[in-house]
């Protein structure tokens, strides 16, 4: 799992490491947005500013607000060119009023969209060229890979599918990091010359170093821009960080915005559960990610639809299992629950105790099918049998899937 942060936070992390980003300020309120304008215009010398919605999803520029169908998620304010700072401030006030608290729908948010709670006010940039840059893990080499392309602003997966020759790659040797010659090679291939070439090399090296230092899963700059004066800057910035490494990045943990995450998934993560909400009616409680996926597959195969992916993990306690059960039963779409356990590091008796405890606490309004196998299986079955709960047991995964789909109203 990975922690996502906002664009402005990513840029803060970049700027603190000498990576060029535009001047900007975050605003949680209309007044903060207006107050941001003057210092930005004075520092940049450019009367143009940009108002950018901060949500954890891409496609914001082309996205539109549900409440204001004509308004884009990222809007350029040019009123200052003729009207000066006052005019810019007035326009930013109007925009901030409209955007804050409204719902932005982009290609990545789904039709429900996301509520905008923060804006980023940024200096306008005179763009000469738009490029693409990212640092990702290459699983085939177990190294980071710097990817660049002249096709800035485009969906990189589209570029990769249709014009793969336009994607440039450099392997990052973890012993020494990205070397000058590699950064130069990329900069030349991107068509950067003179000052822009030197700035590009510096940018590339610093970004690759940031990826390693911050344990990123992905750093993506799209677009990376070359300004008319030869500066190389991150116009956008997307950054996600390996959850397993967060213990050494306390500053990044503080950037987490829980309002951007699914409430049930956040609660599940507090109990060490890996939970993903889906649209079906069969709740699943499983140990192990592979078995959890396979359980979903099997439910679908016998005509049902899974309501969730839930892996209780290996180290779960009775309390964790109880929490898992509660999270599943809270979903009003759930018409039946399938507990599918093959204990290894996870013990069947722990699961059984957790399920029994949860049912005692919250009751059981829907059918429950339990399949137990593996470590301490006899003990687990005994606990379920002696609990007096109305539980249907299953001999294996397919048997369990069939039974729960049947009990929950049959196949669709």
Partner 1 sequence: MSVLVGTDTRLLVQGLGEAGTFHTDKAIAYGTNVVGAVRPGKGGQSVRFTGDTDHSGVPGRPDRYEVDVPSFDTVKDAVLATGANATVIFVPPPFAADAIMEAAEAGIALIVTITEGIPIADMVRVKEYVRGKGVRLVGPNCPGVITPHQCKIGIMPGYIHQRGRIGVVSRSGTLTYEAVKQLTDNGLGQTTAVGIGGDPVNGTNFIDVLELFNADPDTEGVIMIGEIGGSAEEDAAAWISANMRKPVASFIAGTTAPPGKRMGHAGAIISGGKGTAGEKIAALEAAGVVVATTPSDMGSAMLSAMRKAGKA
Cβ 129 vs Cβ 226: under 8 Å:
yes
Phi, psi of 9 (to 5 degrees): -70, -40
Comparison of 31 and 171: residue with beta carbon closer to partner 1: 171
Comparison of 107 and 128: residue with beta carbon closer to partner 1: 107
Place of tokens 């800057």: 233
Comparison of 233 and 352: residue with beta carbon closer to partner 1: 352
Binding site for partner 1 (CB under 8 A): 1-2, 137, 139-140, 142-144, 157, 160, 174-175, 212, 215, 217, 242, 244-245, 247-248, 274, 276, 278, 286-298, 300-301, 306, 309, 311, 313-315, 342-345, 373-375, 377, 396-399
Phi, psi of 180 (to 5 degrees): -55, -45
Comparison of 79 and 305: residue with beta carbon closer to partner 1: 305
Q: How far is the CB of 249 from partner 1 (least distance, A)?
A: 10
Q: How far is the CB of 302 from partner 1 (least distance, A)?
A: 9
Q: How far is the CB of 162 from partner 1 (least distance, A)?
A: 13
118 contacts: CB under 8 Å, gap ≥ 6: 6, 8, 26, 27, 28, 54
Comparison of 43 and 263: residue with beta carbon closer to partner 1: 263
Comparison of 161 and 258: residue with beta carbon closer to partner 1: 161
Q: How far is the CB of 99 from partner 1 (least distance, A)?
A: 25
Q: How far is the CB of 314 from partner 1 (least distance, A)?
A: 6
The β-bridge partners of 114 are 104
Comparison of 12 and 399: residue with beta carbon closer to partner 1: 399
Residue 41 CB: number of other CB atoms within 10 A?
A: 21
Q: How far is the CB of 176 from partner 1 (least distance, A)?
A: 10
Comparison of 59 and 374: residue with beta carbon closer to partner 1: 374
- Positions marked active-site: 132, 220
């Amino acid at each position: 799992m990975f922690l996502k942060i906002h664009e402005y936070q990513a840029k803060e992390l970049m700027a603190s490491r000498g990576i060029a980003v535009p001047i900007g300020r975050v605003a949680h309120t209309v007044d903060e947005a207006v107050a941001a304008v003057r210092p930005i215009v004075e520092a940049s010398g450019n009367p143009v500013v940009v108002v950018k919605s901060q949500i954890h999803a891409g496609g914001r520029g082309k996205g539109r607000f549900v409440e204001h169908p004509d308004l884009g998620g990222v809007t350029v304010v040019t009123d200052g060119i003729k009207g000066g700072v006052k005019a810019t401030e007035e326009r930013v006030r109007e925009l901030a009023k409209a955007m804050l608290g409204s719902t932005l729908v982009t290609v990545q948010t789904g039709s429900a969209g996301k509520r905008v709670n923060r804006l980023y006010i940024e200096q306008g940039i005179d763009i000469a060229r738009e490029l693409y840059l990212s640092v990702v893990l290459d699983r085939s080499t177990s190294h980071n890979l710097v990817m660049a392309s002249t096709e800035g602003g485009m969906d990189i997966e589209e570029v990769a599918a249709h014009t793969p020759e336009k994607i440039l790659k450099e392997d990052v040797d973890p012993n020494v990091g990205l070397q000058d010659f590699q950064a130069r090679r990329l900069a030349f291939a991107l068509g950067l010359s003179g000052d822009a070439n030197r700035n590009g090399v510096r940018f590339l090296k610093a970004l690759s170093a940031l990826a390693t230092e911050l344990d990123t899963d992905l750093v993506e700059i799209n677009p990376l821009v070359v300004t008319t004066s030869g500066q190389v800057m991150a116009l956008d910035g997307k950054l996600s960080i390996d959850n397993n490494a967060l213990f050494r990045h306390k500053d990044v943990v503080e950037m987490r915005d829980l309002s951007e995450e699914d409430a049930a998934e956040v609660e599940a993560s507090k109990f060490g559960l890996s939970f993903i909400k889906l649209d079906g009616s069969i709740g699943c409680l499983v140990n192990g990610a592979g078995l959890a996926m396979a359980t979903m597959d099997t439910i679908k195969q016998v005509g049902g639809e899974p309501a969730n992916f839930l892996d209780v993990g290996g180290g779960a306690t009775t309390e964790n299992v109880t929490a898992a059960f509660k999270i599943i039963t809270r979903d009003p779409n759930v018409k039946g629950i399938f507990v599918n356990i093959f204990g290894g590091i996870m013990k069947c008796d722990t699961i059984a105790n957790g399920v029994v405890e949860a049912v005692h606490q919250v009751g059981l309004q829907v059918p429950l099918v339990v399949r137990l196998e593996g470590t301490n299986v006899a003990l687990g079955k005994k606990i379920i049998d002696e609990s007096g709960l109305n539980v249907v047991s299953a001999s294996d995964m397919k048997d369990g899937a069939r039974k729960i789909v049947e009990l929950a109203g049959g196949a669709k």
